[in-house]
Amino acid sequence: MEAEKPAEGAAAEEFFALEGEIAEHDRRYYGEAAPIISDGAYDILLQRRRRLLAQHPELQKLATPRAVGDDRLEKFEKRPHRRPMLSLNNTYSKEELCQFIGRVERASGGPLTFAVEPKIDGAAVALLFRDGRLDYALTRGNGLEGDDITANVRTISGLPHKISNEAPNYLEVRGEVYVGREDFSLINDQREEGGLEPFANARNLAAGSLKLLNPKKAAERRLRFIAYELGEGDGIFDSHRQVLEALRRWNFPTNEFRMGEGADEVWQRILEFEALRRSYPFDTDGAVVKVDDRRLRDRLGSQATAPRWAIAYKFSPERAETVLEGIRLQVGRSGMLTPVAELRPVPLAGVTVRSATLHNADEIERLDLRIGDTVFLERAGEVIPAVVGVVLSERPPRATPYRYPDRCPACDGKLSRLTDEVAYRCLNPDCPPQIARRLVHFASKSSMDIASLGPQRIGQLIEAGLVQNFTDIFHLRLESLLSLSRTGKRSAQRLLEGLDEAKKRPLRRRLHGLGIPHVGMETAKTLALRWPSLKKLSACGEEELLSCEGIGKIVAASVQKFFQDDHNRRLADELKTLGLRTEEAPAAKAGPLAGKVFAITGTFSAFGREELKGRIEALGGSVRSALSRQVDLLLVGSAPGSKSIEAGRLEIPVISEAEIEEMLRERK
């Protein structure tokens, strides 16, 4: 019989698993702006972490230091925050709120006045103004430096282009970028009409829009801004009230605020805001409580990740009860099945909810969900609704535990649950939903970018029996397209022209479009540069793939498995016979910029950063995101970041936008 684990071992095992789970949710929330759990559920994980550390202090040496989340992306220029941009500690408890107020008042020696304002569920940004004009804008990043998102912020309606001469010459305004409720509904309606997946919530939409590379696309997202603090330039103000009044005079949109003295008044202000939460044009998930006296704030200081003079009280998650009428299994392009709860329609947080994601089979088993159950539905933080519990007293007497089927509900193919996955997969590559989603991915902008071939058109082609795989798309002819309903000659010709253009796309785009598991855009580019022929790549073994820098075991095994499949290999071979490029553009080594290593900082008027990078690479050069002594030239646009200073220290030559344009013209 196996010996029982000592408490320390069990605690350590639980702690490591918890650290990994929290890190994954941090990545999804900050890095991808696509959380899969509510704020409340995330906070419960943090509470478990704190409890384990309190019960087992020896685990502290194993703990990953908690920090402000990190939303930085490699594709953006980085700039340091002149003052750390911290997050707020939060609580769902009136008792903890009162303890916070008591601590602050004891530290100050008496009763205090606090400012209370609604907490906007958006994306935090810092705007830097010089001589009254916007100089640059940053995301929170990791708290010490953020991504430069100036071009996207300039598209936000309602931001002043020139602020009052009364304002300091150097001023940092901090606030929240959000998408209003009505605009969010309108954008999702438009996406659904176009056959696109709607955004899960307004916070994800706002955060994701700030990270778009094309400012014109960001301008379409109806972003708004509310100022709530000053970073620098605030030495002239004694109180938070004065700051907000000044921001209003300088034409910044600001939030409503109410003052409260002591715990009782602050609690009353919070209850007032909670009663009003659905009346605001934006999503709010709580109220922020701040010490009004700014000089006292300086004395109180900050912890590693949050100030000691402020706290966020999170409103109770909005809940509803409804009946689970069914569980539908949704098939993705890789065959993975996602269970979706089909619910008796119920109003929740201002919308009518008819379905909710159940994540996977383990979650269904954990909740012991049964068809006919009355369930608790929660929409905390305005994320996708979640089924969080069952009203056991209402369970129908004959309700039985849900069991996953053995066969795919879409094609009757065999289902399998791999040992290293929590999900079930349909093993039939000809499963209709898989075909549709694979083709949508193949034709998408990030892959082959085939004009006039969206989800609705693909569904129509599949239903008509005209396409089943990637190669069928390129066999389409005008006559067959004209046989489709609501298809005129001009729209059919546009699609055929789009297919001809797609044949010219480089190998990296095709690799991404093939939908190889774990191969995203950057990985596809890495593979195409290392093996510029699809034939050579498909013949690689796992060890050879692992020899490529940036390719790990999971990707190597996935690529090898994909090309070992006869069906996949035949499709890849057929692409070449149809006139599609199966080799990367002659490369880098043969171009006039061969061997030259560039770095880029700032913004450029003639082209976007990705376009500039592509032009350099097409001529044989390479572009790195970070400066080092291996970089030959730094390209400097307007509003450059810290790289321009670092280049001087490293003695790296600097060239302007005009000079790089001339260089690219000369070397075509």
Tell me the residue ranges of DSSP E strands in 407-543. 415-417, 424-426
Nearest to 40 by CA among 278, 281, 385: 385
d(Cα 91, Cα 360) in Å, to the nearest integer?
A: 29
Q: How many CB atoms lie within 10 A of CB 158?
A: 11
Give one DSSP letter per residue of 261-307, joined into a string. EHHHHHHHHHHHHHHHGGGSSS-EEEEEEEESBHHHHHHH-B-SSSB
Residue 264 β-bridge partners: none
Per the annotation, the verdict on 119 as an active-site residue is yes
Active-site option among 119, 211, 525, 596: 119
- In contact, 206 and 282? CB cutoff 8 Å: no
Q: DSSP readout, 160-177?
A: -SS--TTS-SEEEEEEEE
Q: Which pairing describes strands 145-147 and 374-379: parallel, antiparallel, or unpaired?
A: unpaired
Helix, strand, coil shares, percent, the chain, to 5:
40, 20, 40
What value does the CA radius of gyration of the chain take, rounded to a whole number of Å? 28
What is the DSSP annotation of 294-343? HHHHHHH-B-SSSBTTEEEEEPPPEEEEEEEEEEEEEE-TTSBEEEEEEE
**CA–CA distance, 171 with 134 (Å, rounded to integer):** 9
Residue 116: beta bridge partners? Answer: 258, 289
How far, in Å, CA of 272 to CA of 635, rounded?
A: 53
Query: Which residues make Cβ contacts (< 8 Å) with residue 103, sequence separation at least 6?
Result: none
Tokens linked to 298:
């300086």
List Cβ neighbours of 591 (8 Å cut-off, separation of 6 or more). 618, 619, 620, 621, 667
Q: Compute the distance between CA of residue 473 and CA of residue 458 in angstroms, rounded to an integer.
A: 9
Active site residue ranges: 119
